[in-house]
Amino acid sequence: MSRTIAVIVKGYPRLSETFIADELRGLERCGFDIRIVSLRRPTDSTIHPVHREIAAPVLYLPEYLHDAPARVFRAWRVVKSLPGYGDARGAWLADLKRDPSRNRTRRFGQAVVLAHELSPDVEHLHAHFLHTPASVARYASLILGLPWSCSAHAKDIWTSPEWEKRDKLRSLEWLVTCTRAGAEHLAALASEADKVELVYHGLDLARFPPPSTQNSSRDGRDAANPVRILSVGRLVEKKGYADLLAALAALPSGLNWRLAHVGGGPLLRELKRHAARVGIGERIEWLGALPRDEVLDQYRRSDLFVLASRVSKDGDRDGLPNVLVEAASQGLACVSTTAGAARELIEPGANGLLVAPGNPIELSKALERLIREPALRAHFGAAAQRRVRIAFDFEPGLERIAAKLGLAPCALHSTHR
């Protein structure tokens, strides 16, 4: 028998969150009746093919309460008489005392609307991200008397205050997170450590089959056939693109390379100007955000992958970036940093290279080594590809989440493709 689950996300659909889309599609394939609840409307101009495969309806909550006062007031008039409303209001006021912000009030208002408009057949609430989506899920669960759970990722773990993480961990039934570092951190805050479990996102390998072409022999000596470097990531501080540009600018002048970047973000204009200032602007192609099939094509056209992650000023950092797993699945040699959880995929010197974050010179040396040594790139890429297929297959993680949501293993296996 299928269960009806409401999945609460910050925005839907989003190009940068294919791991959520894959999970939603997987849960539907397992037999769950999914209802998506989004705190904001989409801002991307395109979507991935997987989004078209998801049948779940989407409930968009008012992003700003003042934009929909009548909707919020109608919901409040009904919800305030529910038995759980007092507990939810008390939890919100306690949070508001420690964080007197408009954002905190907005999340309670969104929870009120969710509690009013949620289909009555929903049996469980599940939030993706431990910050704002989890706040809405927690308040709504108290109002409705429904259990809730959470998938925590990166920014939500490392930028949320400790008191808030403790409160949410007490309130929820269970939490999964996608890095060992995140799991250990949250388990140490939980009153019941077994509420927290490491479950890697993994990769839907059917969507990332091995490439049919062989690794190139480009080594940076031929100006007509430069080494192709790829980076995929949002242009924000924690992705370290200023460090990457500095590292590229420090490469020997006679070395022939080109960089393609996939992704959007607020730092695009600044980074373009910086690239021009250091004399490498003409070597970089800024492709913007792309659907996944086009990103896959970029992986297959490239010789190596780089992501210069760092810890941002507010403490935000990467977990294990999905793009590293994707690149490795295509046999690309990867260079990244130790700032996040890349070491859970990359073993330095065995299947890739890791450098210290915020160190452009060290990053430049790693890039030069892989540009000049195509045989080493091929060795790292093949080893990383094997690691992905052994340890980062999407299916085991999906099975674990489906089981935690209450689907019997026999039912799960009977619905697999």
Among 188-202, 203-217, 360-374, where is mean pLDDT lowest?
A: 203-217
Distance CA 269, CA 366 (A): 27
Structural tokens at position 277:
């200032």
What does the pLDDT look like over 24-64, one tens digit per residue? 999 999 999 999 999 999 988 888 889 999 999 999 999 99
Question: How far apart (Å, rounded) are the C-alpha atoms in residues 72 and 114?
Answer: 10
Residue 16 has what pLDDT?
83
* Ranges of each domain in the chain: 4-202+393-414, 227-391
pLDDT, residue 43, reads 86
**Percent of the chain having pLDDT more than 70?**
97
More confident residue, 201 or 358: 358
Residues 411 and 9: their CA atoms lie apart, in Å, by: 26
pLDDT at 409 exceeding the cut of 60: no
Give how far Cα 79 sits from Cα of 63, 85, 135, Å. 19, 7, 17
Amino acid at 16: S
Average pLDDT over residues 221-232: 98
Residue 412 clears pLDDT 60, i.e. is over it: no
pLDDT band at 414 (very low <50, low <70, confident <90, very high): very low
**CATH no., domain 227-391:** 3.40.50.2000
The reported pLDDT for the residue numbered 47 is: 87
Tokens in use for 63? 């992003």
Q: How far apart are CA 406 and CA 400, in angstroms?
A: 10
Q: Do 4-202+393-414 and 227-391 fold alike per CATH?
A: yes
CA distances from 148 to 7, 45, 78, 183, 378 (A): 10, 32, 22, 18, 45
Three-state SS letters, the chain: CCCEEEEEECCCCCCCCHHHHHHHHHHHHHCCEEEEEECCCCCCCCCCHHHHHCCCCEEECCCCHHHCHHHHHHHHHHHCCCCCHHHHHHHHHHHHHHCCCHHHHHHHHHHHHHHHHCCCCCCEEEEECCCHHHHHHHHHHHHHCCCEEEEECCHHHHCCCHHHHHHHHHHCCEEEECCHHHHHHHHHHCCCHHHEEECCCCECCCCCCCCCCCCCCCCCCCCCCCEEEEEECCCCHHHCHHHHHHHHHCCCCCCCEEEEEECCCCCHHHHHHHHHHCCCHHHEEECCCCCHHHHHHHHHHCCEEECCCCCCCCCCCCCCCHHHHHHHHCCCEEEEECCCCHHHCCCECCCEEEECCCCHHHHHHHHHHHHHCHHHHHHHHHHHHHHHHHHCEHHHHHHHHHHHCCCCHHHHHHCCC
pLDDT score of 243:
98
Q: For residue 367, what pLDDT band results from cuts at 50, 70 and 90? A: very high
Please give the pLDDT value at position 227. 98
Tell me what pLDDT residue 408 has: 60
Q: Please give the single-letter amino acid code of residue 205.
A: L
Dump pLDDT digits (tens) for 262-280: 999 999 999 999 999 999 9
Token pair recorded at residue 362? 């060290």
* CATH architecture label of 4-202+393-414: 3-Layer(aba) Sandwich (3.40)
Report which of 134, 83, 71 is spatially closest to residue 104, judged by C-alpha positions: 134
Q: Give me the pLDDT at residue 415, please.
A: 46
Contacting residues for 286 by C-beta, under 8 A, at least 6 apart: 261, 268, 272
The position carrying tokens 């989409």 is 42
Q: Hey, CA dihedral for 342, 343, 345, 351, is it positive or negative?
A: positive
Residue 1: the pLDDT is: 53
Question: Does the pLDDT of residue 417 top 50, yes or no?
Answer: no
Q: Is the pLDDT of residue 214 over 80?
A: no
254-266 burial, b if ≥16 CB within 10 A, otherwise e?
A: ebbbbbbbbbbbe
pLDDT of 76 reads 98
β-strands 196-198, 4-9 pairing: unpaired
Whether the predicted pLDDT of 410 surpasses 90: no
Mean pLDDT of the chain: 94
Least confident of 118-132, 311-325, 368-382: 311-325
